[in-house]
Amino acid sequence: MRAKIQKSMELILVFTLLVSYTLMTAIVYHQTLHLLKNEIRQEAEYIQTAVTISGSNYLKELHEINAVDEETRVTWIDANGDVQYDSKSDSSSLENHANRPEIASAYKNGSGSDIRTSGTLGHQMYYYAVRLDDGTVLRLSKTSNSMAATAMNMLPVMTVIAVAMLILAWLLAKWQTARIIKPINDLDIGNPMQNAVYEELLPLLTAIDEQNKEKDAIAQMRKEFSANVSHELKTPLTSISGYAEIMMNGMVKPEDIPTFSERIYKEAKRLVTLVEDIIKLSKLDEESVELEKEDVNLYELTREICTLLSPQAEKKHVHVQISGGNVVYYGIRQILNEMIYNICENAIKYNYENGHLEIWVGNTLNGPKITIADDGIGIPKEHQERIFERFYRVDKSHSKERGGTGLGLSIVKHGAILHDIKVSVESEENGGTKFTLQF
Ligand code: ADP
């Protein structure tokens, strides 16, 4: 960045110098030419006056004047265009001048001027011609620098100025670049909003701040999650080892062994479910879902889930009803399956004996939709926002009794984020619960 700023500053200076050089050349050229024109006109007037006063002895007068100003070329042309006198060359060797623009103009209008390279002298000349009273023409000319010659004349001075300016600019650019860069180098990325730097950096700093907060939140969540996981794993493991220890020590009557074994089996099963849920969730969390999206018939999928859950429903005498129609959604089948399964399983788990579970799958104007409604125990208002948090349970002891891990709805939430599905809950304590998935 430093090198780039410095380089661009130097480039700007070089460009400015070149533009200044061109402009200066043009100005100097035009000013010099303007002065030259005035000078020649004045000289011409003087000679004209002198000639008028001293009569027709033009040649003599012109000779004298020419002796005074060496740079001025004086030419006298008669009314036919023949050169009668030329201060710089032999007049007899000069061709007829009647067609020279300044002379033609002087014959016609009394005076005329032109700039061109002289065929006789080989320089760029400025010519000014005046018609005298007897019809002859007096022409004065002086060498005038061309634009290129003016530029060449200015080159040494401009080179000295340019070198001095470049050295100065290099030093200034170095100093200025260091000044601009310093606040950026001193940025405290850990506390981005504490930096009082350039306004232009504010969006970047805000983004970094948000990222930092997000990272902190994730770190905190991970910490809480590991603490929760350890706790959740420890409880069934303690029970299992406790029961096993009692059995090992022969403290259980033979007739009680099946009961103890069943307890061990249930706790072990809970552990397996818990570990499975943790694996599912961490996979969703890492966004390392490698599963391919495909067209999934949501109605078919929900029906399959209901079939799978029917033993649980029958055990509790929960009446399950599914309505609606086929609707196809492009998503990850396995995750959609987990989501619908968890909500339906909850609707049975947290239902009363002889309760109802009504499922509707169909298409709406806003896209595919699934509603899963039960008339079970419901979720009190104050808990509704939190049920999607990991390990959050409304009634911890009962949830465990019912075989819950507290991770089911977290899986639903993550699956919904992955698919951009809107999940909403309507529930009342003892008034049942309705989950809506808007795809
Ligand atoms: P769990 O494994 O405990 O069921 P979930 O994440 O699936 O965990 O659900 C979180 C909590 O939300 C549950 O413990 C339960 O208290 C509540 N809950 C979820 N679904 C329902 C429902 N249909 N009816 C009543 N409460 C529910």
- Of 168-182, 308-322, 391-405, where does mean pLDDT reach its minimum? 391-405
Record the tokens describing residue 231, joined without a space.
């706790």
Most distant pair of Cα atoms in the chain: their distance? 160
Type of residue found at 111: S
Q: What is the pLDDT of residue 60?
A: 58
Whether 394 is in the pocket of ligand 1, judged by its Cβ within 6 Å, is yes
Top CATH class of 294-438 equals alpha beta
Confidence of residue 174 (pLDDT cuts 50, 70, 90): confident
428 pLDDT more than 90? yes
Nearest CA to ligand 1 atom 25: 378
Q: Confirm whether 2-149 and 294-438 share one CATH topology.
A: no
Nearest CA to ligand 1 atom 12: 387
Whether 112 is in the pocket of ligand 1, judged by its Cβ within 6 Å, is no
Record the tokens describing residue 202, joined without a space.
């504010």
Q: Distance between CA atoms of 21 and 115, rounded to whole angstroms?
A: 24
209 pLDDT more than 60? yes
Q: What is the pLDDT of residue 413?
A: 93
Q: Which fold has domain 2-149?
A: Beta-Lactamase (3.30.450)
| Best probe residue, ligand 1, of 312, 340, 346 (max atoms within 8 Å of C-beta) | 346
Q: Are 360 and 371 in contact (CB under 8 A)?
A: yes
Whether 370 is in the pocket of ligand 1, judged by its Cβ within 6 Å, is no
CA 352 – ligand 1 centroid, Å: 14
Mean pLDDT, the chain, as a whole number? Answer: 87
Tell how strand 356-364 and strand 319-324 pair up: parallel
Q: What is the pLDDT of residue 309?
A: 95
Closest atom, ligand 1, to C-alpha of 394 = 16
- Of 276-280, 344-348, 399-403, where does mean pLDDT reach its minimum? 399-403
Question: Domain 221-286 maps to which CATH number in 1.10.287.130, 3.40.190.10, 1.10.10.10, 3.40.430.10?
Answer: 1.10.287.130
Q: What is the pLDDT of residue 284?
A: 80
DSSP string for 278-297: HHHHHHHHTT---PPPEEEE
Predicted confidence (pLDDT) per residue in 210-254, tens digit:
999 999 988 888 888 888 888 888 888 999 999 999 999 988 898
Task: Report which of residues 89 and 358 the model is more confident about.
Answer: 358
Domain-by-domain residue ranges, the chain?
Answer: 2-149, 221-286, 294-438
Q: Distance between CA atoms of 295 and 333, rounded to whole angstroms?
A: 8
Task: Report which of residues 307 and 193 the model is more confident about.
Answer: 307
Q: What is the pLDDT of residue 57?
A: 63
H or E segment to which residue 245 belongs: helix 202-248
Nearest CA to ligand 1 atom 20: 346
Predicted confidence (pLDDT) per residue in 49-93, tens digit:
877 777 656 555 566 655 546 778 888 899 999 998 888 788 788
The highest-confidence range among 140-144, 200-204, 209-213, by mean pLDDT, is 209-213
